[in-house]
């Protein structure tokens, strides 16, 4: 009785501290998180490139009754509102589900990106040296180059031929497939390499992928291994050396996403930045119910290199899609309608953030960094140094998001990308904010971000899904 009296005298707890999901969830909630991650691992294993992620999103859309928005006409107007999706150049996809309100009353938008750091083939990649055939690469996005040495690699992508056909290539992940590798210098001879700065020790021009060592049988043939490899590629895929000029081929880590740890509470896999948020948003849109507002998910390309190009968040593709929705609703093309609609809309930029890693504590602000397993991270601002090149949500919109999450029982925490002068990073938020849309960042904290295999907590993956679902279903 005395203990109860003491507890009552303490009054309400006004503190705000991180709590770990699996410590406070019951067994049923924990099982939901683990079950959700099974589908996520399958998606992550298959979505090794942007094009593959788009195909998986399209398949999920079709399976759940979405129609492809291609041609505008009277029949389309008559059928609206309906779940719709559209694809931009095979590398970006946007999905729309109607709500109770009209489109012109505002939308609920979630943006995530589906590109990840990797190695791209150069336009003229194939060469021979010392009776070995190599591909020359150009790294894409912010990588640590030493991560990519002496590990099995796979090849995914597409070759566009001049006759209009496309050749799909997926090689390395099937157990029967060969893999590819970039060699590393043996430790017995790396004295000069070890004396260099980490970033300078592995020059980008040495990230050359070994692809073969058998040559043609023709006597005195120049570059016999290269010629033999071209022969094999032509026999299997019908491509020539010139076809690499119009190829979209990516070198990625070989292997499937896997459970991590004895308790299987973590996921390790390639491309979790940012396909983890893409999957959470996609599932949330499909499974959300009783939506007050029309809801959209935009999965875009090129975020890792500054969101440049026609398939990025900087493209007018998003604006044009909203314009088409308004046309379907009103029968009128009016740019002012689109701008008014975007002003009334609310957006979430769903992207990963850093998790507090105790082995590298010196680069983090311990009070303002997300923890693995403590829920989806809410970040009111991004950027470098003095918030340069970032985005900052208004206090009013942040309060609305807090209420949405709290009302829906979403387990969330706050986060940030390290100490102020240590570095930083941006997200898609600043690009949607250019359209005069209220936007805030949420995401899954990771260890080993941008490494070939990144680490996330199943609790945070599931919480990101619940957060997006709560956002879509909020009144």
- For position 15, what pLDDT does the model report? 57
Q: Model confidence over 372-407: pLDDT tens digits?
A: 999 999 999 988 888 888 899 999 999 999 999 999
CB 473 within 8 A of CB 381: no
Dist CA 55 CA 41 (whole Å): 16
Q: Residue range 305-330: average pLDDT?
A: 92
pLDDT tens for 222-244 read 899 999 999 999 999 999 999 99
Q: What is the pLDDT of residues 415-466, one digit of tens each?
A: 998 899 888 888 999 999 999 999 999 999 999 999 999 999 999 999 999 9
Distance spanning both ends of the chain, measured CA to CA: 43
Which is more confidently placed, 12 or 246? 246
Model confidence over 151-162: pLDDT tens digits?
999 999 999 999
Whether 288 shows a pLDDT value over 50: the answer reads yes
Domains, the chain, in order of start with CATH, read 21-116+270-473 (3.40.630.10), 118-253 (2.30.250.10)
Which residues are bridge partners to 157 per DSSP? 169, 249
Three-class SS state of 406 = helix
Query: What are the distances in angstroms from CA 394 to CA 109, 327, 437, 474?
Result: 17, 31, 11, 18
Q: What pLDDT sits at residue 78?
A: 58
- How far apart CA 30 and CA 361 sit, in angstroms, is 28
Could you give the CA distance from residue 166 to residue 53 in angstroms, rounded to a whole number? Answer: 18
Look at strands 412-414 and 346-350 and give their pairing: unpaired
Residue 283 has a CB neighbour count (10 Å cut-off) of 20
Model confidence at 2: pLDDT above 70: no
- Concatenating the DSSP letter of every residue in 316-351 gives THHHHHHHHHHHHHHS---HHHHHHHHHT-EEEEE-
Which residue has 């590298």 as its token pair?
360
Write down the pLDDT at residue 410: 96
Greater model confidence, 387 or 181: 181
Query: What is the overall mean pLDDT for the chain?
Result: 92
> Which residue, 200, 189, 212, is CA-closest to 146?
200
Identify the burial level of 303 via C-beta atoms within 10 angstroms of its C-beta, where 0-12 means exposed, 13-18 middle and 19 or more buried: buried
Distance (Å, rounded) from C-alpha 206 to C-alpha 182? 8
Task: Tell which residue, 88, 5, 18, has the closest CA to residue 369.
Answer: 18
**pLDDT tens-place string over residues 83-136:** 999 999 999 999 999 999 999 999 999 999 999 999 999 999 999 999 999 999
Give buried/exposed letters for 16-29 (b at 16+ CB in 10 A, else e).
eebebbbeebeeeb
Average pLDDT over residues 362-379: 94
SS3 288: coil
Note if the pTM is more than 0.75. Answer: yes
> Looking at the predicted structure, is the pLDDT value of residue 217 above 90?
no
What pLDDT band is residue 7 in, cutting at 50, 70 and 90?
very low
Opening angle at CA 271, ends 288 and 148, nearest 5: 175
Quick: pLDDT tens for 289-308: 999 999 999 999 999 999 99
Report the percentage of the chain scoring pLDDT > 70: 95
């Amino acid at each position: 009785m005395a203990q109860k009296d003491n507890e009552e005298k303490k009054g309400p707890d006004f503190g705000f501290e991180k709590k770990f999901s699996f410590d406070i969830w019951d067994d049923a909630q924990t099982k939901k998180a683990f079950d959700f991650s099974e589908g996520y691992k399958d998606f992550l294993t298959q979505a090794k490139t942007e094009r593959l992620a788009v195909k998986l999103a399209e398949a999920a859309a079709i399976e759940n009754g979405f129609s492809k928005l291609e041609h505008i006409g009277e029949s389309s107007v008559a059928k609206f509102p309906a779940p719709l999706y559209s694809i931009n150049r095979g590398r970006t996809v946007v999905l729309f589900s109607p709500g109770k309100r009209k489109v012109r009353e505002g939308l609920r938008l979630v943006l995530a990106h589906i590109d990840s750091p990797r190695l791209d083939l150069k336009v003229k990649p194939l060469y021979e040296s010392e009776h070995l055939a190599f591909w020359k690469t150009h790294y894409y996005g912010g990588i640590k180059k030493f991560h990519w040495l002496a590990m099995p690699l796979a090849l995914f992508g597409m070759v566009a031929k001049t006759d209009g056909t496309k050749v799909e290539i997926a090689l390395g992940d099937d157990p029967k497939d060969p893999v590819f590798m970039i060699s590393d210098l043996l430790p017995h001879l790396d004295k000069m390499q070890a004396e260099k700065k980490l970033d300078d020790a592995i020059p980008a021009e040495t990230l050359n992928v070994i692809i073969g060592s058998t040559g043609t049988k023709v006597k005195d043939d120049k570059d016999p291994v290269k010629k033999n490899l071209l022969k094999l590629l032509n026999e299997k895929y019908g491509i020539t050396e010139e076809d690499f000029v119009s190829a979209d081929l990516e070198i990625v880590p070989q292997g499937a996403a896997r459970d991590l740890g004895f308790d299987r509470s973590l996921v390790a896999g390639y491309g979790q930045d940012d396909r983890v948020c893409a999957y959470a948003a996609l599932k949330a849109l499909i499974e959300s119910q009783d939506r007050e507002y029309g809801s959209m998910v935009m999965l875009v390309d090129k975020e890792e290199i500054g969101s440049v190009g026609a398939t990025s968040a900087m493209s007018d593709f998003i604006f044009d899609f909203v314009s088409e929705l308004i046309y379907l609703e009103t029968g009128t093309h009016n740019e002012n309608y689109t701008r008014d609609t975007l002003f009334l809309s609310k957006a979430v930029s769903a992207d990963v953030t850093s998790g507090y890693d105790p082995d590298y504590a010196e680069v983090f602000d311990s009070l303002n960094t997300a923890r693995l397993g403590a829920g989806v991270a809410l970040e009111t601002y991004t950027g470098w140094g003095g918030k340069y090149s970032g985005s900052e949500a208004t206090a009013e919109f942040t309060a609305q998001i807090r209420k949405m999450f709290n009302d829906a029982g979403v387990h969330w925490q706050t986060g940030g990308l390290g100490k102020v002068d240590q570095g930083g990073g941006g997200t898609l938020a600043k690009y949607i904010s250019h359209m005069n849309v209220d936007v805030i960042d949420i995401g899954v904290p990771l260890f080993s971000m941008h490494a070939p295999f990144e680490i996330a907590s199943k609790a945070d993956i599931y919480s990101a899904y619940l957060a997006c679902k709560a956002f879509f279903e909020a009144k």
